[in-house]
Amino acid sequence: MKLLADENMPYVQTLFGDWAEVTTCAGRDITPEQLKGVEVLLVRSITQVNEALLTKADSLRFVGTATIGCDHIDTELLAQRNITFASAPGCNKVAVGDYVLAALLTVAEHKGWLLKEKTIAVVGVGNTGSQVAERAHALGMEVLLCDPFKAQQSPTGFVELAQALTADIISFHVPITRDGAHPTWHLLDEEVIHQLHGDQVLINACRGEVWDNNALLLRQQGANPLTLVMDVWEHEPEVLAPLVKHTLLATPHIAGYSLEGKARGTFALYQALKTQYGQEVMNSVEQLLPTPPITHITCAGEYDQDLCTRLVRLIYDIKADDRAFRAALGQHGFFDQLRKQYPQRRELGSLAVESTQIDVQNTLHGLGFSAQR
Ligand SMILES: NC(=O)c1ccc[n+]([C@@H]2O[C@H](COP(=O)([O-])OP(=O)(O)OC[C@H]3O[C@@H](n4cnc5c(N)ncnc54)[C@H](O)[C@@H]3O)[C@@H](O)[C@H]2O)c1
Ligand SMILES: O=C(O)[C@H](O)[C@H](O)COP(=O)(O)O
């Protein structure tokens, strides 16, 4: 069986190499010719799987995306052609939670804020948004949840977008949608951007098109710029370069790029594909992962935001990602290059943190660290 996979997908050879003829290539460059005779196509979010790509894909039986977002896949077309489709919901939600936590602590350091005195609005309370909300609760923040679809099912506990937009920090975790009752394309449009006040912080770790980047640039060039954390950009891999110097943190769509998150993405497709072919599956992704560089730490003393910042940076230094982005900005192909060469990043849960004080221990676990190894 011929299997073609994106080269940025770890563990493809390990999981599929014994029963498929595996070829890998750059996800943005897959051509219709390459799909001739291919039965299984495994992509990440940068491959547009549409009519144009599938013109010569006569043998294609299975398409999988090792990502949460599916906006790059024409799922109707796949259904029409009887091609099984699988994605990896939730695979990198923990990594996104880690990313936003690291961003919050860096924002707080920059602004001299105590996060427990601040309000955060989570817009989109699914897999990734819930991770962010949990960590913000553990930080002692007031958390506003905004999700009109979830609010329909359980009307208490959610706020309207207008109220969410009054929070000190607003973090976006919605899929990109252009239709329906609550489309997210340019959810943050010129009008909304204009209403925000200069002390507010915006975080986008979902899809670039949720924010109107040109309108944002205009706002940032004015008298009261916002504090911005941008992992995703309109028109990736292009970036509106002048906007970068008006961001506090800028990264190349790597919020979900923990080793665990990527491995879970490939593993979800392995399970779906093996099941389709009636084969036995390994049931845990853990056995694929190497031992993390630091596995265990004991904390003395009280919990404070500074301790939290130091512990998070031990595992994930978001400022290093930001520095690499700014250093490479403008070089040809820099965005994809940074993603391809992304260093191995582990999740906070790979570190077991112990403290003799139960409240410190509980807080650190709420932030995503493990208890015992
Ligand atoms: N930057 C990254 O590396 C990265 C990683 C993972 C996911 N993502 C993106 O983040 C998106 C969200 O991921 P997820 O796993 O949380 O998805 P999810 O489907 O679990 O949750 C999305 C939530 O958004 C809500 N929603 C939809 N439209 C809304 C609107 N107009 N206002 C408020 N809420 C709305 C939905 O009801 C749902 O609860 C993905 O679709 C993907 O595009 C990015
Ligand atoms: O939707 C997702 O899961 C994320 O956006 C994912 O992390 C993107 O990774 P990529 O497909 O760009 O490698």
In this structure, the chain runs to a length of: 373
Tens of pLDDT along 172-218?
A: 999 999 999 999 999 999 999 999 999 999 999 999 999 999 999 99
Q: Is the ipTM of this complex over 0.90?
A: yes
Residue 280 has pLDDT above 90, yes or no: no
Residues 6+ apart with CB under 8 A from 304: none
Based on its alpha-carbon atoms, the radius of gyration of the chain, rounded to whole angstroms, reads: 21
Q: Please identify which residue in the block is written with the tokens 């192909």.
A: 333
Q: Please identify which residue in the block is written with the tokens 């730490």.
A: 297
Query: What's the whole-number mean pLDDT along residues 339-364?
Result: 94
Atom of ligand 1 nearest to the CA of 231: 1
Say yes or no: CB of residue 149 within 6 Å of ligand 1.
yes
Ordered by where they begin, the domains of the chain are 2-87+258-287 (3.40.50.720), 93-250 (3.40.50.720), 296-372 (3.30.1370.170)
Mutate which of 46, 174, 182, 188 for ligand 1? The one with the most ligand atoms within 8 Å of its CB, which is 174
Tens of pLDDT along 121-178?
A: 999 999 999 999 999 999 999 999 999 999 999 989 999 999 999 999 999 999 999 9
Name the DSSP letter for residue 287.
G
Mutate which of 253, 336, 341, 345 for ligand 2? The one with the most ligand atoms within 8 Å of its CB, which is 253
Confidence (pLDDT) at 326: 98
Q: Whose CA is nearest to atom 41 of ligand 1?
A: 175
Beta-strand relationship, 296-299 and 352-355: parallel
Tens of pLDDT along 297-333?
A: 999 888 899 999 999 999 999 999 999 999 999 999 9
| For the CA of 237, the nearest ligand | 2
Residues 6+ apart with CB under 8 A from 346: 258, 259, 260, 292, 293, 315, 316
Contact by Cβ (8 Å): 229, 204: yes
